[in-house]
């Protein structure tokens, strides 16, 4: 399996415990690179194969809750739409 040609696309964006909240997708638009978050409707473990995409996010989304964490100690993570923050 060669993965080298996928470059930055499809990098898992995790809650900090290894649950995947979405994938980062980088594309070139009007001569600049734009990174968006392809947010899943539900967080998954990295071994899970079936996902439901909630939205492709551009711009900041605060405190996305990981619903794969134990209910009493759910982690949140903020997606910063601009590079170099968080
Ligand atoms: Zn989690």
Calculate ∠ Cα 63-59-32, nearest 5°: 140
Q: How confident is the model at residue 83 (pLDDT cuts 50, 70, 90)?
A: low
Which residue range is the domain that position 71 belongs to? 4-79
Has residue 86 been placed in a domain?
no
* pLDDT average, residue stretch 46-67: 88
Q: Is residue 8 part of a domain?
A: yes
In this predicted structure, the answer to whether residue 46 has a pLDDT above a threshold of 80 is no
In a domain, 75, yes or no: yes
Tell whether 84 is covered by a domain: no
Q: What is the pLDDT of residue 82?
A: 73
- Whether 46 maps to a domain, the answer reads yes
Q: Rounded to the nearest whole angstrom, what is the distance from the C-alpha of residue 30 to the centroid of ligand 1?
A: 35
Residue for token digits 């040609």? 5
Looking at the chain, the whole-number percentage of residues with pLDDT higher than 70 is 86
Whether residue 85 lies inside any domain: the answer is: no
Whether this model's pTM surpasses 0.85: no
Distance 68 CA to ligand 1 centre (A): 5
Q: Tell me, yes or no, whether 52 lies in a domain.
A: yes
Q: How many domains does the chain have?
A: 1
């Amino acid at each position: 399996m060669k993965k080298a040609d996928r470059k930055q696309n499809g990098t898992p964006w995790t809650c900090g415990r290894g649950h995947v909240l979405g994938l980062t997708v980088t594309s070139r638009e009007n001569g600049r690179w734009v990174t968006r978050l392809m947010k899943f409707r539900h967080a998954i473990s990295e071994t899970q194969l079936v996902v439901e995409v909630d939205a492709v996010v551009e711009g900041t989304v605060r405190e996305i809750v990981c619903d794969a964490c134990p209910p009493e100690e759910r982690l949140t993570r903020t997606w910063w739409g601009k590079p170099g923050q968080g």
